[in-house]
Amino acid sequence: MKYIDEFRDPELVRTLLNKIKQAVTRPWVVMEICGGQTHSIIKNGIDQMLPKEIELVHGPGCPVCVTPLEMIDQALAIAKMDNVIFTSFGDMLRVPGSESDLFQVRSEGADVRMVYSPLEALKIAKENPDKQVVFFAVGFETTAPGNAMAVLQAHSEGIDNFSELVSHVLVPPAMEALLQSPDNRVNAYLAAGHVCTVMGWWEYEPIAKKYKVPIVPTGFEPVDLLKGILAVVKQLEKGEHRVENQYGRAVTREGNKAAQAVVKRVFEVTDRKWRGIGTIPKSGLKFRSEFQKYDAASRFNVSHLQTQEPEICISGLVLQGLKKPNECPAFGKQCTPRTPLGATMVSSEGACAAYYRYQRFNEE
C-alpha cells in the first residue's frame, strides 16, 4: 500500500538504525511530543533497537492525558444535569474524574453519547431543540479547527442549544515550559506531524534558536520516526539546532492557513492548566467574546470546581519525560486499563496504556 508499506520496510529500518549507530558518539535524550508517536515507538520496539546512547522519553502529546481533572469533573457535572445531552469522543468517556467517569454517569441515567465529530453533536442539537447539547472540545491544534467550525455553523444558523466545554491546549508553549524546567532532560524534540500539518513548523523556529534544541516534525511509522531520530542526532553531534522537517509529504512550513484562520476567528489564546504539569501561560484556547455564549463552562456555571490528583499516580512526571510508566508503583497493579488512576492509562494515545498493552512491565 503506497505511503504505508514503504514506511514499514524492515530493510530500510535496519539501514537507518545503522546510520544512527554510526552517527552517535555520546548520550542524548530525545522527546517525542505526540502520543501516536509514543505508541508506534513502543509497539515496534524502536526504543529498544536504538543505540544505548539514545534515550527516548515521552512528552505531553496526548490531549486526553493533559485534560485537567477539574475539567473532567465539570463534564460530569454538566452531564448529570436535566435536559442535557453530553457528547464526546470515545476516549474521554473513560477518563476518571474525582469520583466517576462519563460511562458511569451514563449508566446512572445521564444522556451521554459518543460522537465522531463536533458536527455530529451539532446535528443532535438540531434534532433535539428542547435539550441542551454539549460537546467536549478537547485536543491540540489538530482538532481546534473542527470545533471552531461547529461553533461558526451554530452561530450562522442561530442554534442556541449547542455549546462546547473547551479544553484546547497548544504544543509550543508546553515545549518551552519543559525546556525551562530545572529538571529538564530533553536535548531534542520529535514534533507531532499532525499538529504541524495544521500549524506548520514556523512556530518552532524561535524555540530551537532560543533553547538550542533540534526540532524535527515526523510522521508515525517506524521509518518516519527513525529518520527523525537520525536527523536530531546528526544535529546534536554537530552542535546544530534548527527545525528540520521530516514529514514533507504532509507538513509545510506555513501549515494550513485556512484552518488557522478559523481557529483565530473563534478562539483566543489564554493560560491553561495541564493535567500533571500545572498552568502554562498562553498555552490554551478560549472563546472570543463574540462566541462566549457557546462556552458550556459559563452556561452551566461549573468553572468553580476544583480537584486534587491521586497521590500515587505519577502521570505528571511521565508527561514531562522525567519518569517512564513502568517506574510507577501503581503501574499494572492498582492502575490498569480497566481500573485507571490517571488519563495516561485511559487514552489510546497515553504512554501508560502503551506500556501496558505491549507488556513493558520492566525496564530492559
Could you identify the residue written with the cell 508503583? 329
The ranges assigned to domains in the chain are 9-63+171-238, 69-170+257-299, 323-357
What was the pLDDT predicted at 310? 67
Report residue 132: phi and psi, to 5°: -90, 125
Question: What angle do the packed helices 144-157 and 118-127 form, to 10 degrees?
Answer: 30
The alpha carbon torsion through 207, 140, 317, 90 (nearest 10 deg) reads -160
Question: Can you give the pTM of this predicted structure?
Answer: 0.91
Compute CA 18 distance to the chain's CA centroid, rounded to the nearest angstrom.
31
| Cell (9 digits) for 278 | 500545572
Q: Answer yes or no: CATH 3.40.50.11750 is held by domain 9-63+171-238.
A: yes
Q: How far is 277 from 259, CA to CA, in rounded Å?
A: 28
Report residue 162: phi and psi, to 5°: -120, 135
Considering just the CA atoms, what is the radius of gyration of the chain in Å?
21
Matching fold, domains 9-63+171-238 and 69-170+257-299: yes
**pLDDT tens-place values along the chain, 364 residues long:** 577 788 888 999 999 999 999 999 999 999 999 989 999 999 999 999 999 999 999 998 888 888 888 899 999 999 999 999 999 998 888 888 888 889 999 999 999 999 999 999 999 999 999 999 999 999 999 999 999 999 999 999 999 999 999 999 999 999 999 999 999 999 999 999 999 999 999 999 999 999 999 999 999 999 999 999 999 999 999 999 999 999 999 999 999 999 999 999 999 999 999 887 889 999 999 999 999 999 999 999 997 766 666 678 888 889 889 999 999 999 999 899 888 887 788 777 889 999 999 989 865 4
Q: What is the DSSP secondary-structure string of 93-159?
A: HT---SS--HHHHHHTT-EEEE-SSHHHHHHHHHH-TTSEEEEEEEESTTTHHHHHHHHHHHHHHT-
By C-alpha distance, which of 64, 75, 232, 85 is closest to 140? 64
How buried is 287 (Cβ within 10 angstroms: 0-12 exposed, 13-18 middle, 19+ buried)?
buried
Asked whether the CA dihedral 149, 152, 158, 164 is positive or negative, the reply is positive
The correct CATH number of 69-170+257-299 out of 3.40.50.620, 3.40.50.11740, 3.10.129.10, 2.60.40.10 is 3.40.50.11740
By C-alpha distance, which of 307, 308, 193 is closest to 251? 193
**CB within 8 A of 231, min separation 6: which ones?**
214, 216, 244, 246
